[in-house]
Structure 1
Amino acid sequence: MENSIISIQNISKIYKLYDSPIHRLKESLSIKKRKYHKEFFALNNISMSISKGEIVGLVGKNGAGKSTLLKIITGVVSPSSGDVSVEGKISALLELGAGFNPEYTGIENVFLNGMMMGFSREEMEEKLPSILEFADIGDFVHQPVKSYSSGMFARLAFSVAINVDPEILIVDEALAVGDLKFQLKCMEKFNDFRENGKTILFVSHDINSIKRYCTRAIWINQGKIEAQGDTETVCDRYTDFLKYGDDNLKKPVFGKVPSEIRVLNKEIVGFVESVSIINQTNKQITEIQNGESFKVKIDFMMNQEDIDIVVGVAVHTIDNIYVCGLNTLLDKMKIDYNKGRNTIYLNYSDFNLLGGSYYFDVALFEKNAHVPIDYKAQICDFFVKAPYVAEGLCILPHSWSMKG
């Protein structure tokens, strides 16, 4: 990219894992160069480009490779293979204590960090008053940092990182530290960076913060880029992954009837044949834009024509939260069908679910909607794309006013 300020090409980082210390020794002494280790790819052939002025959010589970990637970008760790190009001065807030010597005083560590970022002592002396004022840790700046509380440590580290006027700011789970007053100062400074067009790499497990601040998102999973692009879509896909990734979460088997539901003999009476989502141009879709109108097409077969039936449709989230159930009995619609194949449409207008994966359950019931003739669980899944304008499951109609 022409305005690329960070360019990463085919980066991999491999660590050698040994079952015991003796295996490390055996490998180092092996005449035949026998390997006693297993290779662990913290990063596996990652490529990306970040443009000047972008605010990029990195998401992924613990151990996915986010911190390793940031360490490579900042030069703390060298890649096993691949190329990294960075244009501009970087200021990074990685894990607590990175770049600080616990035996040095706070002021000595300020100068040490400045030297590591390429500043002369004279330049750091000019910046020192603003750093100390922002950190606001009093006379502790003259004490060794090993005597600091974690909050004081973080305040000084954050103050150094944001008061050296970097072109690139990297924040790894450390945007808001200390008490409420200091958190507000951090947020004001962070907003200044955004408004001044600084390039920011922002790592957080708070998905709403990623949506709120970032212009683009990158999802890293097991050392590889799983997805990158539109912030809302990537974050919603990642959230869905977390729901599926929970070992305690069991996704319903496609078409399986919930255990508490008794189903009539569908071969004798009838059954749901297929379900699809149709947009306003009559195309079948699997992605729905928040606010879009569409219809659910339900094809069903009936082997009898002398009983009254009810059609029901339920929406569930990917982790099985019941969102909304509709049926023709509640809507006072009588279904006139023929023996054989039939089709009915459920029309949605201004669909207001928020971003993420969902699915439809569809069923045929007897006339009281109590006993299903046929019940298809998770027969049709779909993904909702939505801007970050609300949180939760849906956007309720609303307005704001300063008057009662």
Structure 2
Amino acid sequence: MSNPVILSAKALSKQYSLNSQKTKSRVFKDIFRSSLGLTVQAAESTDSFWALKDVFLELKQGESLALLGKNGSGKSTLLKMLANLIIPTSGHVESNGNIQALINLGAGFDRKLTGRENIINSCLLSGFTLNDAKSAVSPILEFSGLGDFIDAPVGTYSSGMYARLGFSVATHAKPDIILIDEILSVGDVAFQNKCLSKMQDLRKDGVAMVLVSHSHAQISQFCDQAIWLNEGEIKAKGFAKEILKDYLAYMESNKYDNVRAIKANAPNSDLVSYSESGLYGVIYNELGLINDYKIELVNEQSVLVNEFFPHERVQIQYGFKLKKYVDDLNVTLNIYRQEDGFKITTITTLNGDLLSGIHEGTLSCTCNIESLNLVPGQYVITTSIHEGSSYLYRDVVKVFRVKSSKNLTWGLLDMKADYVSIENA
């Protein structure tokens, strides 16, 4: 027998005005009309926009749903409407159970009351009896790890302590449905792991979940289904892992298309901007000691490309002309993650003193990377040319992309691994 539908949205839409005063006015009018049982009317102003449009979803008991989409796609708006924190312009939400919304942890706390008093108040609001609310204090206190601070006013808490208490209360309030918006990173690493474990326990107990998270690992770990929102509308929905793959491929392609568009309008402008950003270290090419520097990346089919799949064989070909006699030549290639300048690896001719016998003229070098074990993303190569420890040249020389493959992976490196056995006793 199939589990019953516990949460649904039908033709859910939300319209806002770009004018803040008009938006506030409409909010009050919407609340007033809703309290009278009247339909909330859509704004007719030309400065309005749809934050969410015509969204349908169903969530059954024990199911978990991820909401995917870039910032501004409508994820948080949808989550807040499911929690009845925002009144829809059209459509409606139906729920059958106790909803706990982990959107703004501790938003309902009274900062003048102690942690203990806020626990009791929150439990009473969730339908607990007074005795049950008092009994809930002990497990919530133990989970939160607040210790003696439980009897201090929450207004004296740090943001981390506030979040700990908020998460602990929400997940111990016997939820049937839990709505989560980017909050599984509260507190320190130990408490984060405790939160993730608690979410797994709730899932096993049949609690339905809707999760908004930029952590693709969390989505893959917790969610069965996914909805991909784009500009307030559903672009795709289905099994979480399949939708996640399509979404990541789309985001990477879109990001790379933007880079290519910039280059088409202004060749090498991306390299110039990277050089000026400072993310990848000092730039040194003022003295003109190196001429005609060139670098190319070659794939397994011997084609010059700037896109690869994880674990492809990559050949790096570079060359330049020395404009002066060099006593002790060496070249270093550094590979960085484009988004934050994190250094991934270094390839250097210092290993083996490969260029120690070259002092002048034109140099051409080829090196192979047998397996490019990087996760999908955008990367930057810098070249440093030295005489001994002194710079002759250093600059950003290449941007390349690793594309999504059929396998899901996160982190920094994509390590090949094969399961040799799986046993189920």
Q: 1:215 aligns with which of 208, 221, 224?
A: 224
Residue number in structure 1 paired with 2:63? 54
Q: CA deviation at 1:40?
A: 2.3
Secondary structure of the residue aligned to 2:175 is coil
Q: Deviations over 1:61-82 (max 9, x none)?
A: 2222112212111222221111
1:110 paired residue number: 119
Deviation, structure 1 residue 207: 0.9
- Counterpart among 147, 167, 183 of residue 158 in structure 1: 167
| Equivalent position SS for 2:241 | helix
Map of 1:96-245 to 2, 5 A cutoff?
Answer: 96-245=105-254
- The one-letter code of the counterpart of 1:123 is D
Helix, strand or coil for the counterpart of 1:159?
A: helix
- CA separation in 2, counterparts of 1:96 and 1:396? 39
Give 2:53's aligned residue: 44
Q: Which amino acid aligns with 1:11?
A: L
Relative to 1, partners in 2 of residues 1:37 and 1:224: Cα closer, same or farther, differing over 3 Å?
A: same
**Separation in 2, partners of 1:192, 1:22:** 40
Moved more, 42-51 or 135-144: 135-144
Unaligned stretches of 5+ in structure 2? 30-42, 269-299, 315-372, 378-402
- 1:250 match: secondary structure: helix
In structure 1, list runs of 5 or more residues that go unmatched.
29-33, 261-310, 327-352, 358-381
Counterpart amino acid of residue 15 in structure 2: I
CA gap of 1:22–1:160, structure 2 versus 1, over 3 A, is: closer
Name the aligned partner's letter for residue 47 of structure 2. K
Per the TM alignment, residue 241 of structure 1 is displaced from its structure 2 partner at its CA by 2.7
**Letter aligned with residue 174 of structure 2:** D
Match of 2:11 in 1: 10
How far did 1:186 drift?
A: 1.7
Amino acid at match of 1:8: A
Aligned residues: 289
**Separation in 1 of the partners of 2:73 and 2:102?**
19
Q: Within 5 Å, which residues of 2 pair with 1:309-324?
A: 312=301, 320-321=307-308, 324=312
Q: Deviations over 1:119-178 (max 9, x none)?
A: 333321121111112112123222222221111001000110111221112221112421
Contact 1:354 1:391 in 2 (8 A): no
**For residues 153 and 66 of structure 1, what CA distance do their matches in structure 2 show?**
24
Assess, with a 3 A threshold, how the Cα gap between structure 1 residues 45 and 313 changes in structure 2: closer, same or farther. farther
- Which residue number corresponds to residue 416 of structure 2? 396
Query: For 1:249, what is the secondary structure of its paired residue?
Result: helix
**Contact map agreement 1:57 1:202 (CA 8 A) in 2:** yes
Shift in Å at residue 390 of structure 1? Answer: 7.9
Tell me by how many angstroms 1:232 deviates: 1.7
TM-score, scaled relative to structure 2? 0.58
* Conservation of the 8 A alpha-carbon contact between 2:375 and 2:412: no
Please give the alpha-carbon distance, in whole angstroms, between the structure 2 residues aligned to 1:207 and 1:390. Answer: 8
Residues 82 and 93, structure 2, Cα contact 8 Å, conserved in 1: yes
Over the aligned positions, Cα root-mean-square deviation in angstroms equals 4.0
**Given the superposition, is the C-alpha separation of residues 390 and 158 from structure 1 closer, same or farther in structure 2, using an over 3 Å criterion?**
closer
- 1:312 Cα deviation from its structure 2 partner: 4.0
| Alignment-mate amino acid for residue 83 of structure 2 | T
TM-score in terms of structure 1 length: 0.61
Distance in 1, matches of 2:238 and 2:413, equals 23
- Matching of residue 246 in structure 1 with residue 233 in structure 2: no
